[in-house]
Amino acid sequence: MANFIDRRLNAKGKSTVNRQRFIERYKKQIKKSVSEAVTRRSVTDIDKGEKISIPTRDISEPIFHQGQGGIRERVHPGNDQFNQGDQIERPKGGGAGEGSGEGEASNTGEGKDEFLFEISNDEYLELLFEDLALPDLQQTNAKQMVEFETYRAGFTNVGVPANINIVRSLRSSHARRIAMTAGKKKQLAELKSKLNELENTPGTQAEIIMDLKQQIEDLQKKIDSVPFIDSFDLRFNNFAKREKPSSQAVMFCLMDVSGSMDQATKDMAKRFYILLYLFLTQTYKNLEVVYIRHHTQAKEVDEHEFFYSQETGGTIVSSALNLMHEIQQERYPADEWNIYAAQASDGDNWADDSPACRQLLAEKILPVSRYFSYIEITRRAHQTLWREYEALQEQFGNIAVQHIKEVNDIYPVFRELFKKQPS
Amino acid sequence: MTTTNNHFTEADSVKKQPLDDGPDWSFSLLETYMEEIEKVAAFYKLDSYPNQIEVITAEQMMDAYAGIGMPIGYTHWSFGKRFIETEQGYRRGQMGLAYEIVINSDPCIAYLMEENTITMQALVMAHASFGHNSFFKNNYLFKTWTDASSIIDYLVFAKNYIHECELKFGVEQVELTLDSCHALMNYGVDRYKRPAEVSFKEEKMRQKDRESYLQSQVNDLWRTVPKNRDEQKHNQQVNFPNEPQENILYFIEKNAPLLEPWQREIVRIVRKMAQYFYPQKQTQVMNEGWATFWHYTILNHMFDEGTVTDRFMLEFLQSHTGVVAQPAYNSPYYSGINPYALGFNMFVDIRRICENPTEEDKKWFPDIAGSDWLTTVTFAMENFKDESFISQYLSPKIIRDFKLFSILDDDSCNKLSVSAIHDDRGYHLIREKLSQQYNLSNIEPNIQVQRVDINGDRSLTLRYVPNKRIPLGGSNEEVLKHLHRLWGFDISLEQVDASGKIIKLSQCPPPSEDSKMTTL
């Protein structure tokens, strides 16, 4: 008789270790795939895993196998038209069954070119932020705006009348009354029964009865003098306040879209925004993103237009800062929202405008912002804007200015921007 | 549909109450079915190992898949890759999971998937626990090459050993060694010679297993203490190895000069795995054909007995038909000959030849026409592998039924030509060609260790002997890198063509400029 075993409850995921080994081994390729995905994904779309594709040749396990050519003879089923001696054109490419040997086709790179699979959201973020040590950042992030909330914190003996807790107050009054009168009541009962006895006994002296009556009266007075409620009994509901980090934040993405910004530069900026977004979502429950692009004029746009439309013309940075300030004033009051801004530019600006930017930042924007980061993506020498911002950096603690030359610089720069700040 | 064994029907079907046909199953129902199947199997004298049936979930089935069907596997990234592939394929619905996986072990372990209906479970039990099981136990290749009673123990040993190595020498080192061994896994068996008798082999194994002994042998070969001149002269003339060695992994294990003892053991483990799977590679058609033939025969027998219902039979036949379907060469589903279809039809055909031979059969198969079918199919199962089975038993009827035709692809001609079709002139040729198609030595390149320069730079030379001018595929340089890692000294690969001319194909490390640095 066969032996039946139910293995369904055994641990599944016997292959988990092997899967991790695989990911570990191809980390380089997977990371490449992940960083390509960054460009493809929307800034705010970070909640799902990512499809990864690795070129099959990179992960193939080489074996000795036969190549194309030579003389082969293969038998196929389903003959519907051929006779012995028929000549057939050689099919181009991988004709049916003309692969190199049984079951080896995929190993020889004839099959799929890409090995596709999915990694989970966690794996994705982990790979994306691997160099960034995000967990550290979570604890040391920039200052947050603080809100207070009131919450019940038990009961106290002091408080305002409005907060009296009636049930508890009466309960303690009751207890106090019992405690203070119990002995006397017992005594009283004894005296009363004695008096009763004496009154029914003939020949009792009137003085003794009078004395007893007097005692009873005194006791009764004492009992009656215990107050029904005393300030000692009062219990008040206690309310306390605690700090609550504000859970809403707004992130302004400012970008120069003038002719001098090419798509590669924008893609770099986009990664930076994604990083910032991810970083902020770790801290804030409700995060809004406002995209402002500008050339000589600024405009609030949606994400797609932000990254993928090309404009020509000059550059006036202050237009974007102005617009940001207006939007902030109107929709995101500083006492309710944590305000973050990230500006990306190639450093071009109309030279006369740079001092205006500085002034705008110093007077209107920086005082209400948690953090303002400016990244300059360029290989050229810095221009006026950079110098103005640098000057601001000395004056304010919540502005950071960094220079990015190529994609690889983004992580280090981001890390630099959000490194632990001396509080 | 053809029902078998009609002579049983009348008497039994009347009184018998058929078994519950589900579709849900329970363990007690599985046991009832198993008992019935076992009775029928005993009736047909199927000789098998005891059965162990494990019910698992789809996810666990994917795990089992990834471990190439081994119940216990050592850790390696390539299994992870296989798992991811399986998982992706399954999720996208590109492929269904196999209904069953069966392990060649004693007791024979078969996995049933939780979500199958009772009909499918019965099919799988008949297929795996009696079909495959009896094949494993009785086919000569499995008997010579595998030891069902010890495989599970060996797998446990291998897993633990490799884990210990990882702890001692680091995951990376172990992984590198395994990668290299896997690259040469197909060259870890003796293809052209039979292994020695099992008892002798076991004796020898035990002896050789001792690492110190192994190492001392290697040390002896690579002795660098100067010998007297006569001996040296003598040595230089001797070729090493004396004869070309086809089992490259074995050669490495015994002779590689720089391997650590633990690496030798890993080479050995991979070699053992290769050996364990070797018979399966050579008996795909027969093994699947045999198992399919038996699930078909057993379940039909049960139907004739009235043990199973019509509904059960319809569901069974539908899935059976899917299993043995053979798409034609021009169908989008065509991917070569379906081993289930070919094997099943051949066994059914052998039975037909025994029971109802035609004139043609009598001419083609004088020995078996009219003989006892059970003896004949059992003999066929026991004594052949795919290649010889086809060349022995492929009948003209099967060739006609499958409409087989043979295409000759000679790269020196512009066009392909049809060398044979399913007609009188073609039967023999098709039979021969199809048989050759299953000859592993035609599929896997013939590469052997040709010589080792033991007194010089210790370089190792492999020789490729092409079959029908078929060149070696492009990945050979990668494989040489792996071999180089194991051997530790230069590796070169040469090819000898039909005229006996020797060409150097590749070298590892690749020849650098003019300076030939040997770092000894």
CATH of residue A352's domain is 3.40.50.410
For residue A244, the model assigns a pLDDT of: 66
For residue A35, give its domain range: 17-58+111-128
Distances, alpha carbon B179 to alpha carbons B159, B255, B278, B479, in Å:
16, 19, 19, 10
Give the pairing of strands A71-76 and B405-410.
antiparallel
Of B59, B77, B475, the CB nearest to A25: B77
Whether B300 and B408 map to the same domain: the answer is: no
Give residue for tokens 């790979």.
A127
B234 vs chain A: nearest CA distance in angstroms?
A: 35
A97 vs chain B: nearest CA distance in angstroms?
A: 6
For residue B44, the model assigns a pLDDT of: 94
For residue A144, the model assigns a pLDDT of: 52
Distances, alpha carbon B103 to alpha carbons A179, B61, B147, in Å:
82, 13, 12
Which residue in chain B is spatially nearest to A22 when comparing CA positions?
B77
Whether B342 and B288 map to the same domain: the answer is: no
Whether B437 and B449 map to the same domain: the answer is: no
Which residue in chain A is spatially nearest to B39 when comparing CA positions?
A1
CB–CB contacts below 8 A, A to B:
271
Provide the CATH number for the domain around residue A217: 1.20.120
Of A83, A102, A117, the CB nearest to B88: A117
Q: Is residue A69 included in any domain, yes or no?
A: no
Q: Who has greater pLDDT, A92 or A61?
A: A61
Which residue in chain B is spatially nearest to A3 when comparing CA positions?
B52
Number of domains within chain B: 3
Q: Does residue A98 surpass a pLDDT of 50?
A: no
Whether B311 and B405 map to the same domain: the answer is: no
Q: What does the alpha-carbon distance between residue B256 and residue B484 come to, in Å, rounded to a whole number? A: 10
Interface test mutation site (partner A, options B54, B55, B84, max chain A beta carbons within 10 A): B84
Out of A218, A238, A258, a domain closes at A238
For residue B518, the model assigns a pLDDT of: 43
Q: Give the pLDDT confidence of A313-323 residue by residue, as tens digits.
A: 778 888 888 89
Whether B32 and B132 map to the same domain: the answer is: yes
Q: What contacts B464, CB < 8 A, 6 or more positions away?
A: B445, B446, B447, B472, B493, B494, B495, B496, B505
Whether B379 and B352 map to the same domain: the answer is: yes
For residue B229, the model assigns a pLDDT of: 52
Whether B15 and B117 map to the same domain: the answer is: yes
- Interface contact flag, B479 A75, Cβ < 8 Å: no
Compute the radius of gyration of chain B from its Cα atoms.
Answer: 26
Whether A273 and A398 map to the same domain: the answer is: yes
A18 vs B contacts (CB less than 8 Å): 66, 75-80, 83
Whether B493 and B437 map to the same domain: the answer is: no
For residue B129, the model assigns a pLDDT of: 92
The pTM (predicted TM-score) of the whole model is: 0.69
For residue A417, the model assigns a pLDDT of: 66
Which residue in chain B is spatially nearest to A118 when comparing CA positions?
B88
A55 vs chain B: nearest CA distance in angstroms?
A: 13
Whether A259 and A333 map to the same domain: the answer is: yes
Q: What does the alpha-carbon distance between residue A390 and residue A401 come to, in Å, rounded to a whole number? A: 7
Of A2, A18, A102, the CB nearest to B83: A18
- Ranges A332-336, A366-370, B196-200: which has the least confidence: B196-200
For residue B209, the model assigns a pLDDT of: 57
Q: Is residue A357 included in any domain, yes or no?
A: yes
Of A2, A18, A66, the CB nearest to B470: A66
Q: What is the ipTM of this complex?
A: 0.80
Q: Is residue B278 included in any domain, yes or no?
A: no
Q: What does the alpha-carbon distance between residue B137 and residue B48 come to, in Å, rounded to a whole number? A: 6
* Residues in a beta bridge with A298: A294
Of B31, B175, B444, the CB nearest to A4: B31
Out of B441, B463, B485, a domain closes at B441
Quick one: average pLDDT of A168-195? 90
B127 vs A contacts (CB less than 8 Å): none
Give every residue of chain B whose pLDDT is below 50, as ranges.
1-14, 196-200, 203-204, 207, 232, 513-520
Which residue in chain B is spatially nearest to A89 when comparing CA positions?
B415
Q: Is residue A66 included in any domain, yes or no?
A: no
For residue B420, give its domain range: 324-441
Q: Is B69 on the interface with A (CB under 8 A)?
A: no
Q: Is B426 on the interface with A (CB under 8 A)?
A: yes
Q: Is residue A134 included in any domain, yes or no?
A: no
For residue B303, the model assigns a pLDDT of: 93
Compute the radius of gyration of chain A from its Cα atoms.
Answer: 41
Whether A230 and A191 map to the same domain: the answer is: yes
A118 vs B contacts (CB less than 8 Å): 88
Of B31, B57, B418, the CB nearest to A85: B418
B239: which DSSP letter? Answer: -
Quick one: average pLDDT of A371-394? 83
In chain B, residues 141-180 whose CB comes closer than 8 Å to chain A: 171, 175, 179
Whether B16 and B95 map to the same domain: the answer is: yes
Q: Does residue A137 surpass a pLDDT of 50?
A: no
In A56-206 the beta strands, taken as DSSP E runs, fall at: 71-76, 87-89, 114-119, 146-156
Quick one: average pLDDT of A82-87? 88
B361 vs chain A: nearest CA distance in angstroms?
A: 21
Whether B291 and B383 map to the same domain: the answer is: no
- Averaging pLDDT over each range in A54-63, A137-146, A384-393, which range is the top one? A384-393
B445 vs A contacts (CB less than 8 Å): 64-66
- Ranges A52-56, A234-238, B27-31, B423-427: which has the least confidence: A52-56
Q: Are B114 and A8 in contact (CB under 8 A)?
A: yes
- Interface contact flag, B30 A4, Cβ < 8 Å: yes
Q: What is the residue-averaged pLDDT of chain A?
A: 77
Out of A174, A205, A238, a domain closes at A238
- Interface contact flag, A15 B34, Cβ < 8 Å: no
Q: Are A216 and A188 in contact (CB under 8 A)?
A: yes
Q: Does residue A408 surpass a pLDDT of 80?
A: no
- Interface contact flag, B83 A62, Cβ < 8 Å: no
